[in-house]
Structure 1
Amino acid sequence: MLRVGLIGLGDVSPIHVHAIHSSEHGELVAVCDVNTELSSNYPETPFFSTVDRMLEKMKLDVVHVCLPHDQHYPITQKCVDHGVHVYLEKPVAMTYEEALKQVDVQNQTDKKICVSFQNRYNATFERLMSILKNEDVGDVTSIKGLVTWFRPESYYTTKPWRGKKETAGYGSIINQSIHTLDLIQFIGGELLSCKAVLSNLTDYAIEVEDTASATFTFKSGVKPFFHATNAYTENSSVEMQVITEKEKFTIKDSRLYITNDEGRKEVLVEDDKLPGSKFYYGAGHMYLINRFYGSIINDTDDYVSVEDALPSMAMIKLMDLSSNNTKRPERIKLEEINYVTS
């Protein structure tokens, strides 16, 4: 049984706690947060207010890091230096430059670092990937990703780190819609270039963008369209559409649809739900966490690695460069950044 610690007891932490308690391979033996009042939520689990103290006092096999983005790189480094595997909430780092440092961290340790891109393990996406790889549907010709959500101003004022460049890095593209970027590149393949606009449609006093539109180009010839915003009036279902030479597939409302020649949609599969959680969380966390625990026990690479998570950060970097270079009408190419390949 793996001895598990949890660092950061914010909004997403209950999903991790549920997954840990549900796993046959892990036991929650320590929690950590700077807010000591949260200790009352874990009366039977040792509580620590500093990461250093927890790592020194507890013999841990793996930690879950659920902290603000600026802490992802330094805390990951600290944990692996103590000989502990890391399950890291997305994003892999606050910026692309820090993501490259995370690659160095991984290359310099034998400890495993898993990045929480759990939507790869949703039933809808797994079925879609199976169809694309194994069935006669032709090549992918188009990909569309839409994330139209709502975040009130209190989302940023109650936790100010979310609206600051120095602690969040970005806004909607790194906090809400990075999963969609990850799935786009997972299908699209090798990234080549991007053209994008980052903007703010809300009236909030924040430093990060709340809206983004982009087109990407991939070596495969596919040119995905992506749009994300926190300026809608509610959290609408994330939509992802993939068109091939012979078929059209849409993931929406946690279902995978195929559209026939007459425009009628047929449901192929539906995602599992996690009772009591936000609808967009799904059950993917539990699947990926269990997979990661198994990879630790059996010493396999069957999880989302740091390098697997790097393309999404490259997409964000290119979007930023494109949006900030309005005098350059041409697309920003991947070769313009120090991209690392294995």
Structure 2
Amino acid sequence: MKRAAIIGCGTIFQVHLPIIVANPEIELCAVCDNNPAVQEKLPAAAKAVPFYTDYEELLEKEHPDVVHLCLPHYLHVPVSEYFASHGVNVFCEKPVGLNTAQAKEFVEFEAAHPEVKIGICLQNRLNRTTVELKKIIDGGEYGKVIGCRGFVPWFRGKAYYDEQPWRGQLKTAGGGCMINQSVHTLDLLYYLCGDIDAIHGSVNQLADYGIEVEDTVAARLHFANGANGVFFATNCDYTNESVQIKVACEKASFLIEDDALFRIDADGVRTKLCENEKLPGAKFYFGASHGILINKFYRAIENNTDDYIHVRDAEMSIRLIDAIHASSKAGHPVAP
């Protein structure tokens, strides 16, 4: 049995906690947040274990085998490296860095510390729809990929940024709708369709929130295999609508929408191939694959395998985001 601690008791904490509690091979040994007032509002399972406001004290007294980092973006790398340097396995939420330079340094740190495992939460790679579409593309039955589209029409009101001001600041968030809301979609376009040679992007602020980070972005993706892609994300929709990922192959197209994968034949006939497990409640758009990925990470620790999402696997998502920003400023395509 592995002893686990959760660092950060905010929104995503509510996803990690029940997964840990439900796994009989994991013992929740502590939780930590720098705001002591959150302790009163914690679920019973979290109230039943020691609460800390200092993660260094938690390490000294509890000696966890694994820590789950559910922290603001700017703390992901330094806190991950702190625990890993002390021999603790780390499961860290996205993003894998504030920018390409930090993500690259994190990759180098991971390589220098093979004695611990650092897993990154890009859980949508393990959605049923993603797994099936990846299998179809790699199998080649429908020919090579010729195009793709990623579409993230979500809403974040001004109160979202006022509630947690770090979300609207570049030095603490690293960006807006890309790094926070649509990083998973960018990651899947690369993961499913292959290497990207160049990106031509446009980054905008359409909402009058007085924040530094972007709320809307569009980009054209030039893939090494000759395919063309388009990516659009916004926090200015009226609500959180379904993410769409469409991949066109030579003999058919495939669409992920409303948590289902469809094959669209040349005659327009649409066939449902599979559906994702759905996460109940208001945060349905997180998807239900956190549990699959977290349990996979613990099996990798137990069996000493590399079967999890590494820091190096997640680096490209940050490189793509930085390339879109750079292209928008330069006014021409840039390489990620």
TM-score by length of structure 2 reads: 0.96
Q: CA deviation at 1:105?
A: 1.5
Question: 2:199 and 2:47 mapped to 1: Cα distance?
Answer: 49
Q: CA deviation at 1:92?
A: 0.6
Question: 1:88 and 1:292 mapped to 2: Cα distance?
Answer: 11
Stretch deviating more after TM superposition (77-86 or 256-265) = 256-265
Q: CA deviation at 1:277?
A: 5.2
Residue 122 of structure 1 contacts residue 271 of structure 1 at CA under 8 Å; is this kept in 2?
A: yes
Q: CA deviation at 1:134?
A: 2.4
Question: 2:323 and 2:182 mapped to 1: Cα distance?
Answer: 15
Q: CA deviation at 1:14?
A: 1.0
Question: 1:281 and 1:73 mapped to 2: Cα distance?
Answer: 22
Q: Which residue in 2 is equivalent to 1:319?
A: 324
Q: 1:79 aligns with which of 63, 80, 83?
A: 83
Question: 1:256 and 1:43 mapped to 2: Cα distance?
Answer: 40
Q: CA deviation at 1:278?
A: 1.5
- Does 1:9 pair with 2:9? yes
- Does 1:143 pair with 2:142? no
Q: Which residue in 2 is equivalent to 1:332?
A: 334
Q: CA deviation at 1:21?
A: 1.3
Q: CA deviation at 1:135?
A: 5.2
Q: Following superposition of structure 1 onto structure 2, how do residues 70-219 of structure 1 map, counting pairs within 5 Å?
A: 70-109=74-113, 110-134=115-139, 136-219=141-224
Give structure 1 regions of 4+ aligned residues with deviation exceeding 4 angstroms.
none
**Inter-CA distance 190–135: structure 2 relative to 1 (3 Å threshold):** closer
Q: Which residue in 2 is equivalent to 1:339?
A: none
**Inter-CA distance 119–210: structure 2 relative to 1 (3 Å threshold):** same
- Does 1:275 pair with 2:274? no
Whichever residue aligns with residue 48 of structure 2, its letter is E
Q: Which residue in 2 is equivalent to 1:52?
A: 56
Q: Following superposition of structure 1 onto structure 2, how do residues 228-307 of structure 1 map, counting pairs within 5 Å?
A: 228-276=233-281, 278-307=283-312
Stretch deviating more after TM superposition (215-224 or 77-86) = 215-224
Question: 2:299 and 2:148 mapped to 1: Cα distance?
Answer: 33
**Inter-CA distance 135–218: structure 2 relative to 1 (3 Å threshold):** closer
Structure 2: gaps of 5 or more residues: none
Residue 61 of structure 1 contacts residue 84 of structure 1 at CA under 8 Å; is this kept in 2?
A: yes
Count of residues in Structure 1 that have an aligned counterpart in Structure 2? 331
Residue 25 of structure 1 contacts residue 290 of structure 1 at CA under 8 Å; is this kept in 2?
A: no
Q: Which residue in 2 is equivalent to 1:18?
A: 18
**Other structure's SS at 2:292 match:** helix
Stretch deviating more after TM superposition (274-283 or 75-84) = 274-283
Whichever residue aligns with residue 240 of structure 1, its letter is I
Q: CA deviation at 1:59?
A: 1.4
Q: Any idea what the Cα deviations from partners look like across 1:177-218, whole Å, max 9, x if unmatched? A: 000010001022222111101101111110000011011222
- Does 1:227 pair with 2:229? no
Stretch deviating more after TM superposition (198-207 or 254-263) = 254-263
**Other structure's SS at 1:224 match:** strand
**Inter-CA distance 62–277: structure 2 relative to 1 (3 Å threshold):** farther
Residue 103 of structure 1 contacts residue 307 of structure 1 at CA under 8 Å; is this kept in 2?
A: yes
Question: 1:279 and 1:11 mapped to 2: Cα distance?
Answer: 13
Whichever residue aligns with residue 144 of structure 1, its letter is R
**Other structure's SS at 1:29 match:** strand
Q: Any idea what the Cα deviations from partners look like across 1:249-292, whole Å, max 9, x if unmatched? A: 10000000111333232211010122335221221100000000
Whichever residue aligns with residue 18 of structure 1, its letter is P
Identity %: 40
TM-score by length of structure 1 reads: 0.94
**Other structure's SS at 1:324 match:** helix
Q: CA deviation at 1:126?
A: 0.6
Question: 1:164 and 1:102 mapped to 2: Cα distance?
Answer: 21
Q: CA deviation at 1:39?
A: 1.8
Structure 1: gaps of 5 or more residues: 335-342
Residue 73 of structure 1 contacts residue 101 of structure 1 at CA under 8 Å; is this kept in 2?
A: no
Residue 251 of structure 2 contacts residue 265 of structure 2 at CA under 8 Å; is this kept in 1?
A: no
Question: 1:127 and 1:107 mapped to 2: Cα distance?
Answer: 30
